[in-house]
Amino acid sequence: MDKLIIEGGVKLKGEVTVSGAKNAVLPILAATLLTDEPCVIKNVPNLRDSNSMFKILRSLGKIVEFDKGKVTVCAGKTSNYIAEYKLVSTMRASFCVLGPLLGKLKKAKVSLPGGCVIGVRPVDLHLKGIKALGAQINIDSGYVEAKAKCLHGAYIYLGGVYGSSVLATDNVMMAAVLAKGKTIIESAACEPEVADLAEFLIKMGAKIKGHGTPIIEIEGVKSLRGAMHVIIPDRIEAGTMVLAALITEGDILIKNVQYHHLGALIDKLKEAGAHLSYADGSLHVKGNKRLKAVNITTLPYPGFPTDMQAQMMALMCVTGGISVITEKIYPDRFMHVAELNRMGAHIQREGPHAIVEGIKGLSGAPVMASDLRASACLVLAGLAARGKTSISRIYHLERGYEFIEQKLINLGAKVWREKE
Ligand code: UD1
């Protein structure tokens, strides 16, 4: 296993281009199971998670080729309907093959993904939606088995205790596109990645309206064709780069950004006193002063993203004042708190809240990454800290940030890998 070493204190400067969105590409790859025709997906990030999804598609009978950001899922029947534990357990998003397998083959057997360090992560909403479309569900030996003679459209309220669910909306939408009649998903997730999946399905011949809003309407069709699609830019990578500029008091031009996807983050950063300017798909961030502390509450889109909570906490550690960070999606997503405190931060956790007392500066320390976004948080903290930070279990970062070390090195960061 590798660890990442960062010699902190360098003000990052230059240009960086954001890669395709991880959370859009995974369900879009799963959607290729809905057709036997070839599909071409462009702007696909070279990530551990993308590779996990290629493996799952191959195990289900597809021929997948990946070259320089372009994936071709070749004509080949979706022949197998079982997604095995050893593949699904590596990545929770694999569970979104359930909807397309059921839609196409009218049967699916998919391993339950289990929990992870950020929380329990149930799948009740996925199953509720699939059942409403007429599938029979059986859970046995850690697998969900779903089958139906024929799926039919239905009215489905998909809101849960923590609001809408991204992958449940994806799964139900992918099953419903080949169901008979009209489906309405109410309290659907509005995340741009869900809307991107809908755009791809529409190119395949699906009839979908309202994607990107809480009410999605789907009129089932008999079959879907192959299609070509370009993945939207990754808003979480873009947001992480914005914070890299601010936390190092650097000056970065971030290219390939969809500004309106970053609304909640930018609003908070402006409240904190940051200066950001946007033109022609690029965001210019110049950090030249200590920011004010701001309070943050994570919520489903268009609220502040839970996937930016850890990185924002790193920034709040070095602001002037006290910030209260409330996690409303995953109340236990605070594994990074103890690691930031090892770097000198003053953070106290109280249930779903973290109270961050800003200090002048962090100091480098050996720390451990617990999940993808916690790794990004520790990288940001390491970039800002005095001295050397070594982050072990850095493989988490490779799940969601394409060429991240090279991108940081190009911006002047002193970053390298060492064997643990
Ligand atoms: C997706 C993202 C992940 C992000 C999360 C929340 C992908 C591949 N991953 O994960 O990066 O952190 O959205 O924005 O897109 N829930 C239930 N029952 C369910 C499903 C979810 O109670 O059946 C709860 C979850 O435990 C959580 C909340 O709903 O509290 C939102 O989770 P959800 O949107 O489903 O997350 P994912 O789609 O798994």
Q: Which of 165, 197, 333 has most ligand 1 atoms within 8 Å of its beta carbon, as the pocket-test mutant?
A: 165
Same domain, 405 and 267: yes
In a domain, 300, yes or no: yes
Average pLDDT (96-123) is 88
**Residue from 116, 150, 190, 377 carrying the catalytic annotation:** 116
Is the CB of 95 within 6 Å of ligand 1?
no
Q: Which two tokens stand for residue 314?
A: 């790193």
Please say which residue of 169, 191, 221 terminates a domain: 221
Same domain, 279 and 353: yes
- Axis crossing angle, helix 22-31 with helix 98-105, rounded to the nearest 10: 20
**Closest CA relative to residue 134, chosen from 149, 155, 156, 112:** 149
Is the CB of 66 within 6 Å of ligand 1?
no
Same domain, 270 and 207: no
Side-chain half-sphere exposure of 322, counting CA atoms within 13 A: 6
CA distance 356 to 358: 6
Side-chain half-sphere exposure of 370, counting CA atoms within 13 A: 15
Confidence of residue 114 (pLDDT cuts 50, 70, 90): low
pTM (two decimals): 0.97
Please say which residue of 167, 187, 221 terminates a domain: 221
CA distance 66 to 32: 14
**Closest CA relative to residue 335, chosen from 390, 373, 383, 303:** 373
Same domain, 180 and 243: no
Catalytic status, residue 116: yes
In a domain, 228, yes or no: no
- Please give the span between the terminal C-alpha atoms of the chain, in angstroms, as a whole number: 6
**Residue 115 pLDDT greater than 70, yes or no:** no
Is the CB of 307 within 6 Å of ligand 1?
yes
In a domain, 334, yes or no: yes
pLDDT tens-digit map of 35-51: 999 999 999 999 999 99
Nearest residue (CA) to ligand 1, atom 32: 165
Same domain, 268 and 244: yes
Same domain, 105 and 154: yes
Nearest residue (CA) to ligand 1, atom 12: 307
Give residue 217's pLDDT.
98
Instruction: Find the range with the poorest average confidence among 83-87, 120-124, 200-204, 335-339.
Output: 120-124
Query: Which residues partner with 65 through β-bridges?
Result: 72
**Residue 113 pLDDT greater than 70, yes or no:** yes
pLDDT tens-digit map of 297-315: 999 999 999 999 999 999 9
In a domain, 227, yes or no: no
Same domain, 169 and 183: yes
Same domain, 15 and 27: no
Please say which residue of 221, 254, 271 terminates a domain: 221
Same domain, 407 and 273: yes
Q: Is 238 exposed, middle or buried (0-12, 13-18, 19+ CB in 10 A)?
A: buried
Contacts of 298 (CB under 8 A, 6+ apart): 304, 305, 306, 309, 326, 327, 328, 329
Distance 379 CA to ligand 1 centre (A): 24
pLDDT tens-digit map of 211-223: 999 999 999 999 9
Distance 121 CA to ligand 1 centre (A): 7
pLDDT tens-digit map of 128-143: 999 999 999 999 999 9
The CATH number assigned to the domain holding 325 equals 3.65.10.10
Supply the range of the domain harboring residue 361.
Answer: 2-19+234-419
Same domain, 42 and 159: yes
Same domain, 215 and 249: no
Specify the number of domains making up the chain.
Answer: 2
Same domain, 301 and 166: no
Nearest residue (CA) to ligand 1, atom 4: 307
In a domain, 229, yes or no: no
**Residue 364 pLDDT greater than 90, yes or no:** yes
